[in-house]
Amino acid sequence: MVLCQGGEAAAVPAAGGKEPEVLLSREDSAGAGMGQPCLCPAPGVEAVGAEERRVGGCCSGFLSVAGTEKKAACPGLGLFYTLLSAFLFSVASLFLKKIEDVHSVEVSAFRCVFQMAFVLPGLIYYKTGFLGPKGKRIFLFFRGFLGSSAMILLYYAFQVMPLADATVITFSSPVFTSLLAWIFLKEKYSIWDLLFTLFAITGVVLIARPPFLFGSNVTGIEGSYTDHLKGTIAAITSAVSAALTLVILRKVGKSVHYFLSIWYYAVIGLIGCVIALFVMNEWRLPYCGKDRVLLILIGLLGLGGQIFLTKALQIEKAGPVAIMKTMDVVFAFILQILFLNHLPTWWTVGGALCVVASSSGTAIRKWRQSLKKAKQNEI
């Protein structure tokens, strides 16, 4: 199974010694956490079935699977890890809003440095090399380019528009994934997928509130409407880039180690950020100690959120995890009200309900399809 939330990927070791699953985080979304969950069967990877082996756990007792005894996972622990991951991502997004004198591209560069430091030991341990198979390098390059672009655009959206609005828009990524997989991978696109797509588009329109539909007096936005519109475009483009990243990962399949995929994301993202910063003449160290501390915390919280999300998928099925990930939106609304003193409008609430409903519907539908396929494989 694949869980996407932005463009950055990490692996989830599958139970029972199967090939690892691919986890897509919001930070490609966004190191700060940011993005929108989706479930899709990874090529060649069987869905988790009724006799799935669970790893990890805190409860006593044993579960007999295929003649072996393993500890049973604590009920609800995976969902708790997901909740904790969503909270860490949301706090990282809040800190991004609090940074005053650092451009979003520079924040992205720092995030890439953290990612490289995390992945490098894994590359050395697994002896994967740094370039990957020759036939897959072009896919890895575009994976890195699109994934890092999704992260940069998401960071920019967080800085220029309300936190909840940007978070909700990026949750439309699963819907775009279904559409793009139909176009490029020739996967099935049903009437349900079309319905979820229309729901997501409706939610984005309610949040963006274009003047030709809602008039020139748009209320409840943060700053000028021009910045709000720029942030909306950036968030939508981030969601589409994250969806394209997932399509590429599904195209590559299991032929490339997941650490190598993350490595390309971090390296290409860092190079692109540095070039962009020099072109824009925005590269500088933060002036005050507060911004420097926030930069470090954003990197640590983003990494912590990714780790807990990975642990959640190790001991819980991807379907419930994807649904629980919608708590990202809830935390974004709460933090925006408590710490940014910005009350969301009813338009934003309505848009959030549309987008969350569409992404959750997509996740549930893909989950049920994978379970049905798993049962057929058992027979």
Instruction: Evaluate if residue 68 carries a pLDDT over 60.
Output: no
pLDDT band at 233 (very low <50, low <70, confident <90, very high): very high
* Interval 344-354 mean pLDDT: 86
Tokens of 12: 């989830």
Per the structure, how many domains does the chain have?
Answer: 1
* Interval 57-69 mean pLDDT: 40
Of 37-51, 191-205, 248-262, which gets the smallest average pLDDT?
37-51
40 DSSP β-pair partners: 2
On whether residue 66 sits in a domain, the answer given is no
Q: Amino acid identity, residue 96?
A: L
Instruction: Evaluate if residue 237 carries a pLDDT over 90.
Output: yes
User: So what's the pLDDT on residue 240?
Assistant: 92
Q: How many CA atoms lie within 13 A of 49 on its CB side?
A: 14
On whether residue 270 sits in a domain, the answer given is yes
Most confident among 229-238, 239-248, 256-265 (mean pLDDT)? 229-238
Q: Which residue has the tokens 């991502």?
A: 89
pLDDT tens track for 316-333: 776 677 778 888 888 989
Instruction: Evaluate if residue 62 carries a pLDDT over 80.
Output: no
User: So what's the pLDDT on residue 24?
Assistant: 46
Instruction: Evaluate if residue 195 carries a pLDDT over 50.
Output: yes
- Range(s) of the domain holding residue 319: 87-376
On whether residue 332 sits in a domain, the answer given is yes
On whether residue 114 sits in a domain, the answer given is yes
pLDDT band at 30 (very low <50, low <70, confident <90, very high): very low
Share of the chain above pLDDT 90, in %: 6
Pairing status of strand 8-12 against strand 21-25: antiparallel
2 DSSP β-pair partners: 22, 40
User: So what's the pLDDT on residue 66?
Assistant: 43
- 61 three-class SS: coil
On whether residue 44 sits in a domain, the answer given is no
Contact (Cβ atoms closer than 8 angstroms) between residue 245 and residue 146: yes
Residues present in the chain in total: 379
User: So what's the pLDDT on residue 108?
Assistant: 86
- pTM summary value: 0.71
On whether residue 29 sits in a domain, the answer given is no
Contact (Cβ atoms closer than 8 angstroms) between residue 253 and residue 42: yes
On whether residue 183 sits in a domain, the answer given is yes
Pairing status of strand 21-25 against strand 2-3: parallel
Q: Distance (Å, rounded) from C-alpha 112 to C-alpha 108?
A: 6
On whether residue 233 sits in a domain, the answer given is yes
Of 59-73, 104-118, 169-183, which gets the smallest average pLDDT?
59-73
Q: Is the dihedral of CA 1, 249, 351, 153 positive or negative?
A: positive
| Mean residue pLDDT across the chain | 75
223 — phi, psi (to 5°)? 80, -150
Contact (Cβ atoms closer than 8 angstroms) between residue 332 and residue 163: yes
